[in-house]
């Protein structure tokens, strides 16, 4: 398939909103023992649940290493396609292609990936297999792709409305380990060209202690154009409180690319979740990989959900706010089935349901 030298904006392609009808969903199987406890076994069961639930709504493909191929194929239901693909870990939202469409054809944007900060504050080394994932997915799906060799970006660090607006965090996009050779304006120019945007809304920070330098997908989520969900706490003693307040102020005073004032829906956070001794002891300690220490606070948030055709799949944590989150999501997505999945095991790996999924838009060719 072709590597294109033009840009999506020049060619009339845009990144659709996640709430738009799409063709399918991609996932990568978890296995690395220095990120997932017990060699990924507990997480694999949760990935099976996530993939199975999403497959009730749309096509699902799971990418898996050669070593885990048979195990994954046996654990996943038959309606899920399983393809062998080398990878460094299972965060396809971040290393997979960002798909763009012109309504007829779908293409991939293949950003450079450096494991959330490269040698500055990245989470593992090396990451070259992950950096090839977008290209391989595009080959399998026969999609041409735009490749950016000099621009680091993860899919979890962007949320679009599909109508010209993007929301990002400064904490992530201006972090030293990503594109520190570029100014904020230059970063905006690249994003506008490759996602086909008119307006970028910057909020300062993401969820407290999020190892991705505050990915936007853990703190907000577009419901529809003009309406966003924002993770929320009323606990003034929590460092998250200030973060939510500043994001709320900016979002609720913002207009989008179409001039709409944003409606902001608050989605209560769960109580703080800490790594237990047993969980910490189940993870291999390897130089160069972020350690998982007992007592570390995890970046838990219900905003890290996935919007399927006809459904919303959200993480639960055995917390009283699980039910409140379900109700908030149901009121936002009235025509979709809301499905909660107990996702502590994904959280222990450093992300959640949105981070392990990548959507592929519908295409006519
Ligand atoms: O997008 C994400 N939240 C992925 C986090 C990766 C963590 C790797 N240990």
pLDDT digits (tens, 9 = 90+) for 81-98: 999 999 999 999 999 999
Residue 365 banded pLDDT, cuts 50, 70, 90: confident
Alpha helices in 112-238 (DSSP H): 118-121, 128-131, 133-140, 170-173, 184-195
Pocket of ligand 1 (CB under 6 A): 35, 89, 91, 93-94, 123, 156, 211-212, 215, 290, 349-351, 355
Find the mean pLDDT for residues 147-170. Answer: 98
Q: Is 354 exposed, middle or buried (0-12, 13-18, 19+ CB in 10 A)?
A: buried
Please check whether residue 50 lies inside any domain of the structure: yes
CA distances from 77 to 2, 40, 46, 50, 60 (A): 33, 19, 13, 12, 10
State the distance from the centre of ligand 1 to the C-alpha of 197, rounded, in angstroms: 26
- The CB density around residue 24, as the number of other CB atoms within 10 Å, is 20
Please check whether residue 329 lies inside any domain of the structure: yes
Known catalytic residues are 355
State the distance from the centre of ligand 1 to the C-alpha of 104, rounded, in angstroms: 32
Please check whether residue 338 lies inside any domain of the structure: yes
pLDDT in tens, 289-345: 989 999 999 999 999 999 999 999 999 999 999 999 999 999 999 999 999 999 999
Q: For the chain, what is the domain count?
A: 1
Looking at residue 364, what is its pLDDT?
Answer: 84
Query: Percent of the chain having pLDDT more than 90?
Result: 98
Does the model's pTM come out above 0.85? yes
Please check whether residue 83 lies inside any domain of the structure: yes
Q: Which atom of ligand 1 is nearest to the CA of 210?
A: 3
> Of 82, 92, 112, nearest to 178 (Cα)?
112
Looking at residue 335, what is its pLDDT?
Answer: 98
**CATH at residue 354:** 3.75.10.10
Please check whether residue 365 lies inside any domain of the structure: no
Please check whether residue 325 lies inside any domain of the structure: yes
Q: Domain span at residue 27?
A: 3-359
Please check whether residue 96 lies inside any domain of the structure: yes
Q: Is the peptide bond before 111 cis (omega within 30 degrees of 0)?
A: no
Find the mean pLDDT for residues 164-183. Answer: 98
Please check whether residue 155 lies inside any domain of the structure: yes
Instruction: Confirm if 99 and 144 have CB atoms less than 8 A apart.
Output: no
Q: For the chain, first and last CA: distance in Å?
A: 14
Per the DSSP assignment, residues forming a β-bridge with 220 are 230
pLDDT in tens, 208-262: 999 999 999 999 999 999 999 999 999 999 999 999 999 999 999 999 999 999 9
Per the DSSP assignment, residues forming a β-bridge with 232 are 268
């Amino acid at each position: 398939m072709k590597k294109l030298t033009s840009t999506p904006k020049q060619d009339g392609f845009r990144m659709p909103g996640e709430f738009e009808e799409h063709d399918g969903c991609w996932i990568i199987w978890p296995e690395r023992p220095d990120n997932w406890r017990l060699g990924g076994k507990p997480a694999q069961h949760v990935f099976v649940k996530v993939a199975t639930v999403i497959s009730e709504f749309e096509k699902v493909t799971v990418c898996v290493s050669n070593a885990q191929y048979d195990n994954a194929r046996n654990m996943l239901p038959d309606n899920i396609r399983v393809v062998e693909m080398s990878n460094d870990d299972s965060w396809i939202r971040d290393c997979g292609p960002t798909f763009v469409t012109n309504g007829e054809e779908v293409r991939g944007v293949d950003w450079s990936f450096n494991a959330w900060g490269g040698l500055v504050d990245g989470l593992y080394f090396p990451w070259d297999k992950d950096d090839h994932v977008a290209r391989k997915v595009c080959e399998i799906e026969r999609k041409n792709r735009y490749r950016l060799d000099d621009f680091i970006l993860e899919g979890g660090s962007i949320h679009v409305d599909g109508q010209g607006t993007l929301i990002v965090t400064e904490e992530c996009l201006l972090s030293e380990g990503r594109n520190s050779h570029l100014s904020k304006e230059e970063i905006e120019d690249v994003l506008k060209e490759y996602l086909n945007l008119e307006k970028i809304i910057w909020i300062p920070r993401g969820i407290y202690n999020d190892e991705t330098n505050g990915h936007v997908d853990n703190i907000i989520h577009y419901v529809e154009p003009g309406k966003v969900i924002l993770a929320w706490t009323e606990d003034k003693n929590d460092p998250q409180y200030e973060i939510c307040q500043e994001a709320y102020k900016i979002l609720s005073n913002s207009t989008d690319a179409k001039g709409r004032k944003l409606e902001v829906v608050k989605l209560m956070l769960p109580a703080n979740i800490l790594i237990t001794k047993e969980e910490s002891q189940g993870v291999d300690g390897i130089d160069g990989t972020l350690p998982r220490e007992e007592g570390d606070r995890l970046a838990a948030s219900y905003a890290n959900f996935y919007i399927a055709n006809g459904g919303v799949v959200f993480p639960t944590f055995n917390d009283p706010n699980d039910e409140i989150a379900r109700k908030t999501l149901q009121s936002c997505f009235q025509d979709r089935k809301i499905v909660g999945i107990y996702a502590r095991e994904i959280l222990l790996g450093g992300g959640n349901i949105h981070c392990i999924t990548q959507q592929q838009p519908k295409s006519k060719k």
